[in-house]
């Protein structure tokens, strides 16, 4: 903890002592007259206030700065008279100070007037906002970052609400209709009262970037200056001038991108010279609230309140809360203890605020869910989609909004509505009383809008990073997902696919009776509309190398080639004519090649792919299809639904048999000898099958389709890369950032995890996009300020389920009842009617709800802009107003005295209670 309140120096930096600069630092710091620079009670030479000046202020600049004094406006002529030096010389040095950032300059009544400001907000931001300073003296960023850590603990509990040096201003739409709102908490007031505006880089994000600790929120065009500050910023080259309309547009875009507003709060109530658009993961002012929990220092007068009857726990407010004051919890009653109140009770308002009460890891330990858990559907979905939310939107007939909510995490809902393995349904609380909600069918109904071009949702780009080029290797679900989320930020994206068709295993590995190619094409068309470029028939590593792509200007790569190769059995006769891998068979069928099977077919394998192979064998002419697998019926890896569909098509399942050898005659396979499998896994649940070789059977066959796993075909893709592989040839990468051993290469999907499901790959694609965005911009950390998405489900067994709709689970009709499924490759599964949709959505129990930590909430209103259900609002709780800096001291002293009294009273009460 001790290092948290010390100035951080970059490696090799040597700070020098300069007495004049030290004196200037103490003057700006408004130290009492008579305090000796460097002595007790003064700024020290290792303090950030001194370090930030020493970097670029020489003796001559310091000398005139000392005369300029603290917070008093003087002209160069006035300084010259005091100093006894020529006015032109003093003006030159004062301008150097102003350009460096150590003082303001404005033309007042036709004459340049100079004055110093507070350290924060003021001098330090001004110094850091000079790009030449960052280039020539990067130490200034370290100094500004350190200031809040070094001085922050001293301010804990010392400022009344509304009097802090910075102040959160709510998003204005969040306080519309609030009867007690005050115009000093409306952004429009500050913009409408000023006539000159500028926009600059964010100094906090600049700090983070220089230190390599950026959070992915970039610094450009973030901070708006007004009035005298805009005049100064424009004149000294810190910012570019903008119109009032442009300023409003910056505010709007900031809100859309999840940012909040803060103002310097030292000009007096209802006055300010700047508006910051902040993120909780990068802003140094917000750190005061998050790390030191000194929320009163920056908060607005509002706190968030949730209406639990309206809340559907979609998680949008939680995931967008800049200070992690919102968490998902449980709405259902329970026999087990459930957390219903998360408001922080140990605060600096009435306690000694020691380091053990801080949260120094706030940038990496964000929590979205309380310990007692939340909705099982959102928890168990690999992409953590707001399922409860889109079900409610669908129930209200708001299908486009439901689609928007889904696509915040999953850009391919129509695909997933047909092939998802439905972990959300398997975990659904409703399944404890009758049948789970048909979540996938609801999603399918919503997503089928994507199949109609006129209703297709083309999302608006959030940014324009088109100067950065990203190559995606592999057009399967992981690669396409990564491309989608990078395209949202306006990157120039090219997807390279070695096959002639896009979609990877979605297209080549999944039969059309489960996933029609028109569905995949429709959702890929959205990416094309977003500007993603595709190159098919290009194998990276063979037709073009990563190094050649680097030479073409690509900044990063996402490798998601899937697992499109097949595994072999390694037994006698496997190379005989008539033996084919299931993967190869499906590729031929799905690419449109004429494939005909006759006679009896044996499919070896028990997973979902084996089921697809068996059902495709039926459709290509085989009159007798039988499956043989190691697992017992209840341990088969295939989903129950697919097993049932196979049985309905008269495919025979033979469980607990493993192939011993393939029988051949004249080089052609004629059957398989199987041995009884008595166990598949060892005591550590590792794959280690055991057989009874005395219990064997021989099965004749005309065709043998081996479907016992998939392999990854790397070719020379990573030949010259510093990437390493596991024994199963999956590539090694960080399991959070997906960065491989080659820094500019990221990965995801089956080539990283081994064969999984489309939704797993889609979730990985989004995370890969987040990492790539951070990687291609200087100084951004891959982990700081990033949501680890650690969800916990509520205790379903203890939930009290007494009052619920007894409507049975709905099932869509078959599209063409005249056809038998085994006779066609068409997908005959229908979609809900609107009536069925209404019935099914009404079955949702509404398990989850959002909880608010009313102490930690800063009242920014960001949560209200993300809620589609009018379930969260700002409520006025405080009446604090800003105080001009020169009048702040007596207010703070009064607060300190009151706080000491509260601490003393609390200690007495504890002593009396024996606690």
Query: For residue 60, is pLDDT > 70?
Result: yes
Q: How crowded is the C-beta side of 815, counted as CA atoms within 13 Å?
A: 10
Identify the H or E element spanning 659: strand 657-665
CB atoms within 10 A of CB 384: 21
Q: Under a CB-based contact definition with an 8 Å cutoff, are residues 850 and 313 in contact?
A: yes
**pLDDT tens-digit series, residues 815-852:** 877 778 788 888 889 999 999 999 999 999 999 999 99
User: What mean pLDDT do residues 237-242 have?
Assistant: 97
Residues 6+ apart with CB under 8 A from 599: 622, 623, 624, 701, 702, 703
Mean pLDDT of the chain: 94
Query: For residue 86, is pLDDT > 70?
Result: yes
Sheet with 652-655, edge to edge strand ranges: 579-581, 703-706, 600-604, 624-629, 652-655
Kindly state the DSSP code that residue 807 receives in the 8-state scheme. P
Q: Under a CB-based contact definition with an 8 Å cutoff, are residues 4 and 360 in contact?
A: yes
Q: Does residue 82 sit in helix, strand or coil?
A: helix
Query: For residue 629, is pLDDT > 50?
Result: yes
Residues 6+ apart with CB under 8 A from 301: 161, 162, 182, 185, 859, 876, 877, 878, 879, 880
**pLDDT tens-digit series, residues 784-811:** 999 999 999 999 999 998 878 889 999 9
**pLDDT tens-digit series, residues 313-369:** 999 999 999 999 999 999 999 999 999 999 999 999 999 999 999 999 999 999 999
Closest CA to 718 of 909, 478, 545, 510: 545
CB atoms within 10 A of CB 902: 13
Q: With b meaning 16 or more CB within 10 Å and e meaning fewer, what string describes 885-895?
A: beebeeebeeb
1 — pLDDT class (breaks 50, 70, 90):
low
Per-residue pLDDT at 818 = 74
Phi, psi (5° rounding) for residue 709?
Answer: 140, 170
* Degrees, nearest 5: CA angle 108-110-116: 35
**pLDDT tens-digit series, residues 580-603:** 999 999 999 999 999 999 999 999
Per-residue pLDDT at 34 = 43
**pLDDT tens-digit series, residues 434-485:** 999 999 999 999 999 778 888 788 999 999 999 999 999 999 999 999 999 9
**What is the Cα–Cα distance from 543 to 269, expressed in whole angstroms?**
65
**pLDDT tens-digit series, residues 869-889:** 999 999 999 999 999 988 999
* Cis bond upstream, residue 25 (ω within 30): no
Phi, psi (5° rounding) for residue 40?
Answer: -60, 135
Query: For residue 39, is pLDDT > 80?
Result: no
Query: For residue 233, is pLDDT > 60?
Result: yes
Residues 6+ apart with CB under 8 A from 892: 158, 159, 163
Q: Under a CB-based contact definition with an 8 Å cutoff, are residues 10 and 779 in contact?
A: no
Q: How far is CA 105 from CA 71, 190, 236, 593, 641, in A?
A: 12, 21, 9, 76, 73
Residues 6+ apart with CB under 8 A from 788: 364, 366, 736
Distance of CA 826 to the CA centre of its chain: 38
Closest CA to 428 of 381, 369, 371: 381
**pLDDT tens-digit series, residues 766-790:** 999 999 999 999 999 999 999 999 9
| Strand pairing category for 533-536 and 492-497 | parallel
Per-residue pLDDT at 178 = 66
Query: For residue 80, is pLDDT > 60?
Result: yes
Per-residue pLDDT at 31 = 67
**Crossing angle of helices 399-406 and 439-447, rounded to 10°:** 110
Per-residue pLDDT at 33 = 44
Q: Under a CB-based contact definition with an 8 Å cutoff, are residues 501 and 536 in contact?
A: yes
Per-residue pLDDT at 453 = 80
509 — pLDDT class (breaks 50, 70, 90):
very high
Per-residue pLDDT at 36 = 58
């Amino acid at each position: 903890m001790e290092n948290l309140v010390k100035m951080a120096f970059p490696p090799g930096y040597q700070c020098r002592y300069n007495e004049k600069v030290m004196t200037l630092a103490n003057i700006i710091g408004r130290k009492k007259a008579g305090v000796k620079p460097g002595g007790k009670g003064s700024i020290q030479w290792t303090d950030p206030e001194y370090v930030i000046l020493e970097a670029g202020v020489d003796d001559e600049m310091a000398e005139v700065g000392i005369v300029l004094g603290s917070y008093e406006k003087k002209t160069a002529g006035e300084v010259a008279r005091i100093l006894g030096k020529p006015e032109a010389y003093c003006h030159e040095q004062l301008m150097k100070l102003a350009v460096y950032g150590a003082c303001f300059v404005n033309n007042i009544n036709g004459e340049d007037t100079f004055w110093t400001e507070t350290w924060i907000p003021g001098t330090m931001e001004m110094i850091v906002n000079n790009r030449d300073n960052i280039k020539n003296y990067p130490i200034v960023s370290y100094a500004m970052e350190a200031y809040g850590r070094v001085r922050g603990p001293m301010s804990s509990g010392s400022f009344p609400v509304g009097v802090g040096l910075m102040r959160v201003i709510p998003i204005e739409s969040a306080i519309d209709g609030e009867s007690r709102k005050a115009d000093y908490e409306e952004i429009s007031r500050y913009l409408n009262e000023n006539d000159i505006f500028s926009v600059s880089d964010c100094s906090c994000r600049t700090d983070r970037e220089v230190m390599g600790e950026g959070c992915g929120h970039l610094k450009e065009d973030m901070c708006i200056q007004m009035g005298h500050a805009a005049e100064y910023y424009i004149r000294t080259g810190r910012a570019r001038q903008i119109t009032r309309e442009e300023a409003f547009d910056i505010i709007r875009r900031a809100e859309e991108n999840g940012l909040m507003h803060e103002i310097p709060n030292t000009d007096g109530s209802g006055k300010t010279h700047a508006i910051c658009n902040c993120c909780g993961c990068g802003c140094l002012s917000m750190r005061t609230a998050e790390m030191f929990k000194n929320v009163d220092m920056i908060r607005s007068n509002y706190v968030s309140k949730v209406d639990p009857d309206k809340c559907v726990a979609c998680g949008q407010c939680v995931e967008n809360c800049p200070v992690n004051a919102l968490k998902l919890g449980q709405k259902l009653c329970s026999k087990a203890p459930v957390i219903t109140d998360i408001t922080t009770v140990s605060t600096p308002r009435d306690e000694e605020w020691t380091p053990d009460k801080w949260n120094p890891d706030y940038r990496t330990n964000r929590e979205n869910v309380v310990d007692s858990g939340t909705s099982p559907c959102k928890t168990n979905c690999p992409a953590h989609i707001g399922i409860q939310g889109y079900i409610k939107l669908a129930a209200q007939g708001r299908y486009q909004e439901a689609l928007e909510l889904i696509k915040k995490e999953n850009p391919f809902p129509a695909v997933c509505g047909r092939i998802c393995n439905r972990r959300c349904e398997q975990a659904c609380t409703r399944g404890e009383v009758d049948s789970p909600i048909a979540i996938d069918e609801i999603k399918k109904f919503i997503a089928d809008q994507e199949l109609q071009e006129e209703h297709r949702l083309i999302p608006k780009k959030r940014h324009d990073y088109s100067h950065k080029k990203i190559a995606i290797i592999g057009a399967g679900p992981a690669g396409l997902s990564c491309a989608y989320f990078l395209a949202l930020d306006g990157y120039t994206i090219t997807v390279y696919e070695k096959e002639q068709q896009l979609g990877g295993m979605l297209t080549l590995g999944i039969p059309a009776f489960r996933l029609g190619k028109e569905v995949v094409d429709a959702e890929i068309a959205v990416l094309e509309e977003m500007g993603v470029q595709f190159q098919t028939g290009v194998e990276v590593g063979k037709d073009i190398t990563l190094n050649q792509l680097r030479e073409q200007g690509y900044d990063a790569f996402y490798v998601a080639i899937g697992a499109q190769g097949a595994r072999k059995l390694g037994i006698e006769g496997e190379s005989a004519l008539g033996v084919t891998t299931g993967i190869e068979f499906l590729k031929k069928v799905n690419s449109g090649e004429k494939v005909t099977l006759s006679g009896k077919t044996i499919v070896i394998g028990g997973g979902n792919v084996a089921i697809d192979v068996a059902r495709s064998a039926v459709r290509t002419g085989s009159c007798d299809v039988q499956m043989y697998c190691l697992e017992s019926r209840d341990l088969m890896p295939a989903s129950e639904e697919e097993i049932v569909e196979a049985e309905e098509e008269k495919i025979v399942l033979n469980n607990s048999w493993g192939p011993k050898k393939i029988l051949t005659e004249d080089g052609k396979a004629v059957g398989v000898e199987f041995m009884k499998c008595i166990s598949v896994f060892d005591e550590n649940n590792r794959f280690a099958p055991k057989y009874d070789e005395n219990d064997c059977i021989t099965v004749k066959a005309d065709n043998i389709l081996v479907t016992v796993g998939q392999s990854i075909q790397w070719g020379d893709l990573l030949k010259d890369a510093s990437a390493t592989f596991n024994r199963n040839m999956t590539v090694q990468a960080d399991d959070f950032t997906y960065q491989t051993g080659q820094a500019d290469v990221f990965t995801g999907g089956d080539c990283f995890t081994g064969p999984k499901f489309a939704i797993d790959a889609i979730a990985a694609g989004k995370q890969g996009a987040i990492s790539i965005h951070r990687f291609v911009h200087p100084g951004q950390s891959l982990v700081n300020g990033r949501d680890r998405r650690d969800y916990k489900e509520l205790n379903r067994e203890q939930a009290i389920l007494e009052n619920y709709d007894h409507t049975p689970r709905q099932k869509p009709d078959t599209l063409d009842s005249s056809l038998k499924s085994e006779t066609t490759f068409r997908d005959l599964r229908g979609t809900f009617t609107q009536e069925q949709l209404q019935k099914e959505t009404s079955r949702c129990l509404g398990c989850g709800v959002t909880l608010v930590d009313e102490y930690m909430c800063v009242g920014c209103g960001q949560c209200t802009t993300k809620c589609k259900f009018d379930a969260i609002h700002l409520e006025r709780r405080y009446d604090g107003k800003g105080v001009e800096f020169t009048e702040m001291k007596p207010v703070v002293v009064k607060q300190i005295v009151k706080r000491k009294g509260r601490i003393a009273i609390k200690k007495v009460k504890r002593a009396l209670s024996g606690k």
